[in-house]
Amino acid sequence: MKHSEGLEWAIHSCALLAMMPPGTPLPRRLLAEFFELPEPYLAKQLQKLSQAGIVETRRGPRGGYVLARKPEDITLLQMVEAIDGPDRHFVCTEIRRCGPTGVAGKHYTRPCGIARSMWKAEAAWRKELAATSLADIQHLGMAETPPEQTAKAIAWFQANLLQGETE
Amino acid sequence: MKHSEGLEWAIHSCALLAMMPPGTPLPRRLLAEFFELPEPYLAKQLQKLSQAGIVETRRGPRGGYVLARKPEDITLLQMVEAIDGPDRHFVCTEIRRCGPTGVAGKHYTRPCGIARSMWKAEAAWRKELAATSLADIQHLGMAETPPEQTAKAIAWFQANLLQGETE
């Protein structure tokens, strides 16, 4: 069982958007370039984040992506569900009712105990993800990004966003 | 993100083996019949459970599958990892190091904060699964199986295991 590859890209993209100065939309092209990602596939992840109300697009020559909400108001769970969907990981097909000893559905008054146990573990996972905000992720990132990279990143964004303005 | 379909089959099979009287191996054919499952695909799940040391086979005319350990000593996590593997669900490809602002690997002293946050949630999921034993599952099942089904199941096993003896 694996998350889609796009999830890593989506969370990093949101974390990068959270770092941008207010009123600085980030064009998709620069987002893809920054992480060295294939732009068409990144576009699909951004579309999912947009559909989930996590990012939004600003049109125009200085357009691009911005966060739709404050980083404090975006959780890791929301990003995960935007990309991988909200469905449970364990699907119960009620095989306990199948076969020669199964009885009518009305006799099974609760969901299967196996499914309930699996879903309880999923709930613990969801709870942890819901307790982690993009702001938390941002603070971890700020503390951990090598100063050499921070300096390069600021210079790169200034050069590239500036370049965009004069194009 | 979904568990493989075989996981439901594997856990139910273990729960059924846990219900059998001591010294009563269950042939694969009957396990498949009981849950109305395709035997060749169930065989693959049983093979994985066997490789993980959760079930074992008894050879001979009265042969079949038995649990390799007591239900108290088998956890839901062990069954999940036997079927879906022990790998993490979130794979970090270190995209923070890619692109025009990445710096040499030695500057990144810890795993990425995004990966750590995802793995923390996975740890909460694992902890919950590890705290649930097959004996717990068995107790839930005993409490919930409709009495009508229990009666049919006992009769079915007596008829079929007895039939096996006289074949």
Tell me what pLDDT residue A125 has: 98
For residues B10 and A107, give the distance between their C-alpha atoms in angstroms, rounded to a whole number: 24
Averaged pLDDT score across all residues of chain B: 93
For an interface test with A, the pick among B31, B144, B154, B156 (most A C-beta atoms closer than 10 Å) comes out as B144
> H helices of chain A, where?
5-19, 28-35, 39-51, 76-84, 113-130, 134-144, 147-166
Q: Does B23 touch chain A (CB under 8 A)?
A: no
Q: Give the mean model confidence (pLDDT) for residues B40-60.
A: 97
Q: Where are the domains of chain A?
A: 5-166
For residues A82 and A64, give the distance between their C-alpha atoms in angstroms, rounded to a whole number: 19
Q: Give the mean model confidence (pLDDT) for residues B108-136.
A: 96
User: Does residue B164 carry a pLDDT above 90?
Assistant: no
Confidence of residue A164 (pLDDT cuts 50, 70, 90): low
Q: Give the mean model confidence (pLDDT) for residues B125-142.
A: 96
For residues A128 and A120, give the distance between their C-alpha atoms in angstroms, rounded to a whole number: 13
User: Does residue B165 carry a pLDDT above 90?
Assistant: no
Tell me what pLDDT residue A167 has: 44
Least confident interval from A127-136, B64-73, B100-109 = B100-109
Question: Which of residues 100 through 139 in chain B touch A, CB cutoff 8 A?
Answer: 100-103, 107-110, 112-118, 120-122, 124-129, 132, 136-137
Higher pLDDT among residues B21 and A79, named by residue = A79
Q: Give the mean model confidence (pLDDT) for residues B138-166.
A: 85
Q: Give the mean model confidence (pLDDT) for residues B10-28.
A: 93
User: Does residue B47 carry a pLDDT above 50?
Assistant: yes
Tell me what pLDDT residue B43 has: 97
Cβ–Cβ pairs < 8 A, chains A and B: 190
User: Does residue A27 carry a pLDDT above 70?
Assistant: yes
User: Does residue B163 carry a pLDDT above 80?
Assistant: no
Cβ of B100 within 8 Å of Cβ of A4? The answer is no
Q: Which residue on chain A is closest to B126 by alpha carbon?
A: A121
> What percentage of chain A exceeds 70 in pLDDT?
96
- Residue A21: CB atoms within 10 A of its CB come to 7
> What percentage of chain B exceeds 70 in pLDDT?
96
Averaged pLDDT score across all residues of chain A: 93
User: Does residue B5 carry a pLDDT above 70?
Assistant: yes
Tell me what pLDDT residue B22 has: 85
The ipTM, to two decimals, is 0.94
Confidence of residue B167 (pLDDT cuts 50, 70, 90): very low
Task: Retrieve residue A22's tokens.
Answer: 């207010």
- Residue B151: CB atoms within 10 A of its CB come to 12
B35, B76, B141 ranked by CB distance to A98: nearest: B35
Task: Retrieve residue B103's tokens.
Answer: 């710096």
Summarize pLDDT for A50-63 with one digit per residue, the tens.
999 999 999 988 89
For residues B75 and B99, give the distance between their C-alpha atoms in angstroms, rounded to a whole number: 43
Provide the whole-model pTM.
Answer: 0.93
For residues B119 and B140, give the distance between their C-alpha atoms in angstroms, rounded to a whole number: 29
CATH of region B5-166: 1.10.10.10
Tell me what pLDDT residue A163 has: 65
Tell me what pLDDT residue B166 has: 47
